[in-house]
C-alpha cells in the first residue's frame, strides 16, 4: 500500500516537470559528468571545460552563476569556501571529491547536478523535487 502511494506520487511529480526543467537537468548532468571525468586529469580553466560546447553566451553566464551557487552551497566541504574565484573553488571541490570514497563522490556529484538544475530553473520548485528529477533523469540515461 505504501509503495503504491509512493509510486503514484512519484508519477505525478515527474509529470509536472516540463521540458525547461528537463533541459536544465541534462545540462547539469553533463557538467557533473565532465567534472567526474576531470577528477583524474585537472585542467587549467575548469569552468570552460565543464560548460557544454553548444551553450550560447547567455546560457553560459547562467550556468556559471548556477555553478557558483551550487559549489558554494556544497561547500559543506568547507575547505573550498575561502577560494578566490569559481575556477579555484571548482578545482578545490575536485581535490576534495578525489579524496572521497566513490559512493560519497557520486552522492555529492548528484547533489551538485540537482543544485545546478534548480539554479538554472530559477528555483521554481522545492529542492527535493529537483533531487528526485535529476536522479530519475540520471537513472534513465544509464
The three cell numbers of residue 5 are 502511494
Calpha distance 73→82 (Å, rounded): 13
In the chain, % of residues over pLDDT 70: 70
Asked whether residue 39 carries a pLDDT value surpassing 50, the answer given is yes
Its domain, for residue 101, covers 2-141
Mean pLDDT value of segment 40-48: 57
Looking at the structure of the chain, the number of domains it has is 1
Calpha distance 119→139 (Å, rounded): 21
Cβ–Cβ under 8 Å, residues 93 and 74: yes
Helix/strand/coil percent split, the chain, to 5: 75, 0, 25
Calpha distance 64→51 (Å, rounded): 8
Among 36, 35, 40, CA closest to 51? 35
Asked whether residue 28 carries a pLDDT value surpassing 70, the answer given is yes
Mean pLDDT value of segment 47-76: 69
Calpha distance 7→15 (Å, rounded): 12
Please report the pLDDT score of residue 15 as a whole number. 63
Calpha distance 104→16 (Å, rounded): 29
Calpha distance 123→81 (Å, rounded): 22
* Neighbour tally for 31: CB within 10 Å: 25
Please report the pLDDT score of residue 44 as a whole number. 46
The CA distances from residue 68 to 6, 25, 78, 142, in Å, are 34, 16, 14, 27
Amino acid at each position: 500500500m505504501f509503495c503504491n502511494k509512493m509510486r503514484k506520487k512519484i508519477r505525478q511529480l515527474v509529470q509536472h516537470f516540463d521540458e525547461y526543467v528537463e533541459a536544465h537537468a541534462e545540462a547539469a548532468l553533463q557538467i557533473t559528468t565532465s567534472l567526474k571525468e576531470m577528477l583524474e586529469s585537472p585542467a587549467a580553466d575548469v569552468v570552460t571545460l565543464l560548460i557544454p560546447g553548444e551553450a550560447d553566451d547567455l546560457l553560459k553566464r547562467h550556468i556559471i552563476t548556477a555553478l557558483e551557487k551550487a559549489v558554494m552551497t556544497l561547500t559543506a566541504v568547507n575547505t573550498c569556501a575561502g577560494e578566490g574565484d569559481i575556477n579555484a573553488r571548482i578545482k578545490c571541490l575536485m581535490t576534495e571529491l578525489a579524496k572521497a570514497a566513490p559512493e560519497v563522490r557520486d552522492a555529492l556529484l548528484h547533489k551538485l547536478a540537482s543544485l545546478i538544475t534548480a539554479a538554472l530553473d530559477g528555483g521554481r520548485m522545492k529542492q527535493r523535487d529537483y533531487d528526485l528529477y535529476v536522479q530519475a533523469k540520471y537513472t534513465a540515461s544509464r
